[in-house]
Copies of this chain bind each other. A is one copy, B any other.
Amino acid sequence: MRKFLLSSCFGVLAAFAAGGANAQDWSMPTGDYANTRYSKLNQITAANVGKLQVAWTFSTGVLRGHEGAPLVIGNVMYVHGPFPNPVYALDLDHDAKILWKYVPKQDPNVIPVMCCDTVNRGLAYADGKIFLHQADTTLVALDAKTGNVVWTAKNGDPSKGETGTSAPHVIKDKVIIGISGGEFGVRGSVTAYNVKDGKKVWRGYSMGPDSDTLIDPQKTTHLGKPVGADSGTNTWEGDQWKIGGGTTWGWYSYDPDLNLVYYGSGNPSTWNPKQRPGDNRWSMTIWARDADTGAVKWVYQMTPHDEWDFDGVNEMILSDQTINGQPRKLLTHFDRNGFGYTLDRTNGELLVAEKFDPKVNWATKVDMDKNSKTYGRPLVVSQYSTDQNGEDKNTKGVCPAALGTKDEQPAAYSPDTQLFYVPTNHVCMDYEPFKVSYTAGQPYVGATLSMYPPPGETNMGNFIAWDGKTGKIVWSDPEQFSVWSGALATAGGVVFYGTLEGYLKAVDAKSGKELFKFKTPSGIIGNVMTYQHGGKQYVAVLSGVGGWAGIGLAAGLTNPTDGLGAVGGYAALSNYTALGGQLTVFALPQ
């Protein structure tokens, strides 16, 4: 027991002080504040990873899509699952015995308003508490030792289509969460709650008056210039910003020196661009907010006036690299729209924006000419403009598809190789917008679509290594299906990811050469994590096919345009795997 308390203390210190600096733990869902998902553990190397074995396994007791990953704090592992969002504390000193289990009571009526499976992306930890963001948007703090509820806070209203799928992120003394529901006309926001008692500290919306967005017309910049007054309303017709989308369900990162929180806001509602003329700010935007106040330092809108559901929520990975001989504090982001962006995270300066899949065709490029009127904007190809083609017209062959060249599946970054490891989708689509009217709590989608591999190809995914300084693919490993699992990079020179068929794979960080694979019970949409316990390094991943790509299997859909179009190209998944919900933990043999 003494050991437990001691380890817990270390965990607290780690989470508060250095953002996961205690390499033995995996104390935050992103691995560290910088969102690198890089571990300093190096027992498992490129030379020995081929000998990896399954050490133990655990069923979560729930089926459907298992996104996220467990946490490890000292000698306790915390495992979560999709709706109804069970949380287990497992005693690593005693064969993963269940120390406690928490299953919230939630109204199952939340399930139909979860757009893309009943996923939950994980837990956060701080101050002796485990934080769970329930499907019904309740943020609950559990005593890490007992599982008893310490406090709860209600972040949204499922009857309006507001749901919770994202992991909470503890930043300093606050637990910060976003909201899901972009397909229900939810207006996105990010909210900070006090770790101690759950009191709301600040909330910043994605659109609306400056008082709502916490944008300062003069101090907040966009591509180096002040955004000016009413930037969150003046690119919307009338009151449309009130149902404007820009939800916030991705992974958040934090720079302690700058005290800035980084995240992306999602697609504007509806998917029918004709219904919402204008740039629809600040949907599709990279945000830098002050952690203490929520005040916005800078924004960068990647896809003004989205016409393809290129939801901008994907994670921002922070790294310090040298570009053109100059050390830079960088932020790298792989957007659904197929561009990999590198910015200066101190001020939002756009440094690199290149396609991370050569098939991306909806824009020729991002205009990098600072003197151009379209500076920083994608140059849209008319053929693929669903707005120009218009309502009830089927725009064919847009690449990427709505689920993007990458969706929420987080990339990793290794400071050793200075490469990003990116799980990608290699998928195109036909997209047909239609008029839709808004009713609170009802789907507000406004487009039908079908998704399929690029013409003439069969692989629907690639796992790539990306140089963020130059915006170039270094190597690319093709996969039959989208890689919907989060990557893990380690100091052992190995990178891990999972596949929708259910394989955990390990590849050489430098070459991408496959070094190990193992067929887990179900398709993997979870994020690979690693920890050390009893002097031994472990690698763990949740299996449980589902999420948007796997929604056909997860919800038993068969129509190609069901599941917001994901069923089509992914129907063949049922030849490889079935629903599950299991943790598989790997280690080297004795």
Report which A residues bind B (CB closer than 8 A).
Answer: 53-54, 56-63, 86, 88, 95-98, 101, 502, 518-522, 543-544, 574-584, 589
Contact = CB atoms under 8 A, between A and B. Distances in A.
Given A63-B63, A582-B580, A57 B98 contact: no
A582 B582 contact: yes
Contacts of A589: 53, 589
A87 to B, nearest CB: 11
Nearest to A584: B57
Given A53-B53, A54-B54, A582-B582, A59 B519 contact: no
Given A56-B519, A57-B521, A518-B56, A88 B578 contact: yes
Contacts of A101: 574, 578
A522 B583 CA distance: 11
Given A521-B521, A580-B61, A580-B582, A575 B56 contact: no
B97 A576 contact: yes
Given A53-B54, A54-B53, A88-B578, A59 B97 contact: no
Given A59-B578, A61-B63, A98-B574, 17 more contacts: A54-B54, A54-B57, A57-B57, A57-B520, A57-B521, A58-B521, A59-B521, A59-B579, A59-B580, A59-B581, A59-B582, A86-B578, A98-B575, A98-B576, A101-B578, A580-B582, A589-B589
Contact of A57 (B88, B519, B575, B581): B519
Contacts of A522: 59, 61
A500 to B, nearest CB: 13
Nearest to A52: B53
A268 B144 CA distance: 50
Contacts of A580: 59, 61, 581-582
A101 B63 CA distance: 18
A519 B57 CA distance: 6
Contacts of A518: 54, 56
17 contacts: A56-B518, A57-B520, A59-B544, A59-B577, A59-B578, A60-B578, A61-B63, A61-B579, A62-B63, A96-B519, A97-B575, A98-B575, A98-B576, A98-B578, A521-B521, A521-B582, A521-B583
A53 to B, nearest CB: 5
Contacts of A61: 63, 522, 578-580
Nearest to A523: B59
Contacts of A54: 53-54, 57, 518
Most B C-beta atoms less than 10 A away, residue of A53, A63, A88, A578: A578
Contacts of A63: 61-63
A121 to B, nearest CB: 20
A581 B60 CA distance: 10
A430 to B, nearest CB: 28
A480 to B, nearest CB: 11
A95 to B, nearest CB: 6
Nearest to A59: B580
A56 B57 CA distance: 12
A295 to B, nearest CB: 44
A83 to B, nearest CB: 14
A583 B577 CA distance: 12
